[in-house]
Amino acid sequence: MKPPPSTPGQTPLDDLSGLRIRSIRTAAQLNEAEAENIRKAAMKYLVARPSPRSARFDVPWLLRLHAEMFGDVWEWAGTLRTRETNIGSAPHQIEIDLHNLLADLKAWESSGMDLLEQAVRLHHGAVRIHPFLNGNGRWSRMLSNIWLMLHGSQAVEWPEATIGASSAVRDDYLAAVRTADRGDYSPLIGMHRRYVNAAR
């Protein structure tokens, strides 16, 4: 099956093996199926405050969250990638980097760092590791939102359809992530604040 075209900045879909829904033929159909799967995960974690038991923030739960978001569509959902990609940790380093990110998260929480900045750093660290074949950005944004909800704060309402397509919003988002790569989180924090306020 020929893969649908990818948007610049996304991991290219050069292999559709593992696609559970064989009737998918277009990028629009794939996006629709993934969005419905993600909606189910959002209902579980973002409608009401999740419990520490349901959102454990350990590595097995990080993988399970990806499976909850994409498992209706992809057989490999929740499975760490085993091949190199143009961004992200080397495959043998992914699990170690996820453990380190969670250790950092605990340190940020203990330090009294502003909650939104904790979520932004979690979001950025997760997407930078890029643990999965696809869906890393959406998984990272969901992860940071669950962290906010777990601590009694409001989730960020990202315009996912716009971020997932060629747009000025996507360009701003990718630029903010690249700036965070250099240690400056202020543009990404600004985007988080913008979409929290837009939801009010």
Q: How far is CA 56 from the centre of its chain?
A: 16
pLDDT for the residue 1:
46
**Candidate from 26-30, 60-64, 79-83, 188-192 with smallest mean pLDDT:** 26-30
Angle (nearest 5°) at CA 9 between 114 and 193: 25
Any domain includes 17: no
* Residue-number span of the structural domain to which 102 is assigned: 46-197
Cα-flanking dihedrals φ and ψ of residue 19, to 5°? Answer: -75, 120
Whether residue 82 is contained in a domain is answered as yes
pLDDT band, very low/low/confident/very high, at 196 (cuts 50, 70, 90): confident
If pLDDT is split at 50, 70 and 90, which confidence band does 198 have?
low
Is position 16 within any domain?
no
Residue 82 has pLDDT above 90, yes or no: yes
73 token code pair: 């569509």
Residue 12 — very low, low, confident or very high, per pLDDT cuts 50/70/90? very low
Between 27 and 42, residue with greater pLDDT: 42
Would you say residue 2 has pLDDT above 90? no
CA distance 158 to 71: 21
Q: Give me the pLDDT at residue 4, please.
A: 47
Mean pLDDT across 93-116: 98
Residue 92 lies in a domain: yes
Number of domains in the chain: 1
The answer to whether position 119 is within a domain reads yes
Amino acid 7: pLDDT = 53
Q: Flag whether pLDDT at 13 surpasses 80.
A: no
Is residue 11, in this structure, part of any structural domain at all? no
CB 41 within 8 A of CB 142: yes
Using DSSP, how many helices (H) and how many strands (E) does the chain show?
8, 0
DSSP letter at 74?
A: B
Looking up residue 129, the CATH number of its domain turns out to be 1.10.3290.10
